[in-house]
Amino acid sequence: MAPVLFVGFALLLVLSSVMVILHKNPVTSALFLVSAFCSLAGIYLLLHAEFLGMVQVIVYAGAIMVLFLFVIMYLNLGRDVEGGLALALRRGFGYLVGLGLLGIALTWFARGWSAGPAAPPPESPAPGNTQAIGMLLYSRYLFPFEITSVVLLVAMVGVIVIARGRRGGIPEAPDMPEAIPDTPADRGEAPPATGAAPPAAAAPKRSVEGS
């Protein structure tokens, strides 16, 4: 039963992925990406990674895709205008590179490749997948787990600093020289904003007023 389901999910995954890169409308691409992520979650379930399957649906199909759709609709991108010879050439080049990569992968599979013996299943009944991952995450991988929190914090602060715009929070200088694109005020303003979170969090309001 599991291989049949796997083939079904794999076909859905591949078809959705192809539609992601082929469809003209970014919104449709994003929705096909949701479908691809959900079928990948099904494959995770079949591979006995239940926790990852759930996280895949929540984080990828939920949070990340909402972010994508929000940005697409915020920027009001209805369609992807295509055309021109250079673009056609580059597109052909891209497909050629893809075919080459696929050929390399298939050659590797065809060359009597084997993965070594599979490990025997454990004798004692394993605890739940989530419980086992939690035990491992808070013992052996505790330090990477803590580093992950720093990564998320840096990303959060960085996103706020980037998205508030170039001159966010700085009052408009009336006589700014045109020849210097990056003014000293910009460079002097940036480091304290990255160092302290509360001013950066308060910044978007000021940028709205300034612009």
Residue 89 interacts with other proteins (CB under 8 A): yes or no: no
Question: What angle separates helix 197-210 from helix 142-163, to the nearest 10 degrees?
Answer: 20
Residue 36 interacts with other proteins (CB under 8 A): yes or no: yes
Cβ pair 48, 129 in contact under 8 A: yes
Residue 35: CB minimum distance to other proteins, A = 12
Residue 156 interacts with other proteins (CB under 8 A): yes or no: yes
Residue 151 interacts with other proteins (CB under 8 A): yes or no: yes
Rounded to 5°, the CA angle 159-164-170 comes to 135
In the complex with other proteins, which residue's Cβ is closer, 75 or 179? 75
**Is 129 in a helix, a strand, or coil?**
helix
Cβ pair 53, 45 in contact under 8 A: yes
Cβ pair 58, 47 in contact under 8 A: no
Strand locations in the chain, DSSP E? Answer: none
In the complex with other proteins, which residue's Cβ is closer, 19 or 199? 19
Residue 171: CB minimum distance to other proteins, A = 19
Residue 171 interacts with other proteins (CB under 8 A): yes or no: no
Residue 43 interacts with other proteins (CB under 8 A): yes or no: yes
Residue 122 interacts with other proteins (CB under 8 A): yes or no: yes
Residue 89: CB minimum distance to other proteins, A = 12
